[in-house]
Structure 1
Amino acid sequence: MADPEKLFMVNVVTPDGLIFSHHSSIVEMRAIDGQRSVMYNHLPILTPLAIGEIKVKRSREMNNIVNHIAVSGGYFEFSNNVATIIADSAERANNIDVSRAKAARERAQNALKKAQAAHDQRSLERAQVALRRAVNRISVYNSVK
């Protein structure tokens, strides 16, 4: 008899509340120190997340569905077979308004040019972060289309 699939709970929380809660066989994410994957019975971990994509691979019973979630940083915590992602902002790929994300990318690119011309380091850093967030949202949206 085959072993039953080992699943754990994944919750994604933002200041607006719980945006995702499902069982998973593996979660892939970009931590600030590199790419990470977590499976059932992983050792406890707490790591800061970079702006990037979270991939939640669901069970075989769910036809190996992969949920794609764009996060703008935050933290990933895993303990007792529960993964919790706490992020300032997070959007499931199917909820991303790509035209809004493209407009944000355009605004960030314009702000970046102005900050470079003015030699304003603080504005430059803010524009770079805004640009990474917008590009990430577009990339996550495109990964499922």
Structure 2
Amino acid sequence: MTLNLRIMAPNRVVWNSQTEEIILSTNSGQIGILKNHTPLLTALDIGIIRIRIDSTWTTMALMGGFAMIDNNKVTILVNEAEQASQIDFEKAQENFRVAQDNLIKAEGKKQIIEANLAFKRAKARFEAVSAIS
């Protein structure tokens, strides 16, 4: 028996298939999910998801959302998601570097919050594409 994983963004179904293991970035850290996991509803942080089918891992950048786990079904609602295979490595690396610089230079609460969110998004994309490079 496996897990049924469905990832949905506002405008599309990003992923819908059977999987054997999932690793998610939640607001309180990473969590691993295997079959027969206890029911859970959790907020997701901006970060990556790792999906294992057989012995192959797929990585995706998730831009925050929620995950519900119940009866070997995992439903994930996200603001946006990008598969690592669709991310350009050099562009992601450059965006990550720029986001780091902007976070260091940020002043004032609003600018710091915006720079931190941009940094987290850039970091998630860079980590996702780095996992396959």
Shift of 1:29: 1.1
2:24 maps to 1:29: yes
Equivalences for residues 1-145 of structure 1 within 5 A: 6-59=1-54, 64-109=55-100, 111-116=102-107, 120-145=108-133
Superposition deviation, residue 39 in structure 1: 1.2
Letter in 1 for 2:68: E
List alignment gaps of at least 5 residues for structure 1.
Answer: 1-5
Amino acid at match of 1:21: N
Task: State which structure, 1 or 2, has the greater radius of gyration over its C-alpha atoms.
Answer: 1
Listed one character per residue, the Cα deviations across residues 105-125 of structure 1 (whole Å, up to 9, x for unaligned) are 355345435532xxx111111
Q: CA deviation at 1:46?
A: 0.6
For residues 144 and 12 of structure 1, the distance between their equivalents in structure 2, rounded to whole angstroms, comes to 20
Give the Cα–Cα distance (whole angstroms) in 1 for the partners of residues 102 and 120 of structure 2. Answer: 13
Shift in Å, 1:102: 3.8
Count residues with an aligned counterpart: 133
Identity of aligned residues (%): 26
Q: Deviations 1:1-35 (Å, cap 9, x if unpaired)?
A: xxxxx211111111121111121111111211122
Q: Quote how far apart the aligned CAs of 1:80 are.
A: 2.2
Deviation at 1:97, TM superposition (A): 2.8
Tell me, what secondary structure is at the counterpart of 2:129?
helix
Distance in 2 between residues matched to 1:103 and 1:142, nearest whole Å: 13
State the Cα deviation string for residues 85-134 of structure 1 (Å, max 9, x = none).
11111111101133443453355345435532xxx111111111101110
Code of the residue aligned with 1:29 in structure 2: it is: L
AA matched with 2:83:
R
Deviations 1:52-80 (A, max 9, x none): 11111113xxxx11111111111111112
After TM superposition, the score normalised by the length of structure 2 is 0.88
